[in-house]
């Protein structure tokens, strides 16, 4: 049985941006609850949310890129992940500005609106920093569930509720298919770590060993995971050389 590996203090610093966003997402909605369900000022809510985004981005700059995968290989904060996270911060800030007087809130329920936007951003940060397919699924679900509710929160009533229901049904099917694919990959390779799959070419080797699989399909999947290899090598994770990959 594999021993449980607890994160070190230095690894915990890389989760500070997500933690800050989660805390600031709860502040406006907590103020509303403490005031007897009275909506706080939209400007105040917007300022609190923007401060959370700014502090989260600042903490990511201070933490800097990681030297390798952290949390037992579940997350990686390389150059590509950091650039993607800053794109998430920028999109989140722009969305907050547009939502302050948008048709989706009409000046009401803005605290819940901000809570869902920031929570969705947390899921995006998890998704862009994931180094494992299971963690990618978790980040995708955090983002998607917040978006389901955010769509249904609109004051268009009929259209927003219908859109939320359709999005939920389609998202549920997509999540199920994604999980099924992860199960197949784990069954064939014994791993769900993206860097392991890309660097060692385990998927390609397993398909070549399987019976009844066409060579073109094996090559196509091999190209996919070779692209993962390029991503990891380009942004600093060490791995085996090309001679360790299975020849096509």
Please state the pTM of the whole predicted model: 0.74
Give the dihedral sign, CA 78/67/196/220: positive
Residue with tokens 């995708």: 140
Q: In this structure, are residues 17 and 57 in contact, taking their beta carbons and an 8 Å threshold?
A: yes
pLDDT at 233: 53
Interatomic CA distance for residues 136 and 154, integer angstroms: 28
Kindly tell me if the per-residue pLDDT of 1 is higher than 50.
Answer: no
Answer with the residue of higher pLDDT: 31 or 231: 31
Answer with the residue of higher pLDDT: 41 or 241: 41
pLDDT at 23: 93
pLDDT at 162: 76
- Average of per-residue pLDDT across 103-111: 66
pLDDT tens track for 108-128? 678 888 899 999 999 999 988
Kindly tell me if the per-residue pLDDT of 88 is higher than 60.
Answer: yes
Residue of 133, 150, 171 whose CA lies nearest to 92: 150
């Amino acid at each position: 049985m594999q021993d449980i590996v607890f994160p070190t203090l230095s690894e915990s610093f890389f989760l500070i941006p997500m933690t800050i966003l989660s805390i600031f997402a709860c502040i406006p909605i907590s103020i509303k609850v403490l005031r007897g369900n009275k909506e706080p000022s939209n400007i105040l809510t917007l300022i609190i949310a923007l401060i959370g985004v700014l502090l989260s981005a600042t903490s990511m700059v201070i933490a800097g890129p990681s030297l390798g995968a952290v949390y037992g290989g579940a997350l990686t904060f390389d150059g590509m992940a950091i650039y993607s996270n800053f794109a998430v911060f920028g999109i989140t800030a722009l969305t907050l500005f547009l939502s302050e007087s948008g048709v989706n809130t009409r000046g009401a329920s803005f605290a819940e609106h901000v809570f869902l936007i920031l929570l969705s951003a947390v899921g995006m940060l998890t998704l862009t920093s994931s180094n494992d397919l299971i963690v990618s699924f978790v980040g995708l679900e955090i983002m998607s569930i917040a978006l389901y509710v955010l769509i249904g929160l609109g004051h268009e009533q009929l259209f927003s509720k219908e859109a939320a229901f359709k999005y939920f049904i389609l998202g549920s099917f997509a999540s199920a298919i994604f999980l099924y694919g992860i199960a197949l990959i784990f069954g064939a390779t014994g791993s769900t770590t993206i860097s392991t799959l890309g660097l060692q070419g385990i998927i390609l080797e397993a398909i070549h060993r399987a019976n009844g699989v066409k060579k073109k399909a094996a090559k196509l999947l091999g190209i996919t995971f070779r692209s993962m290899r390029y991503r990891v090598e380009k942004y600093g994770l060490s791995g085996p050389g090309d001679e360790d990959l299975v020849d096509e």
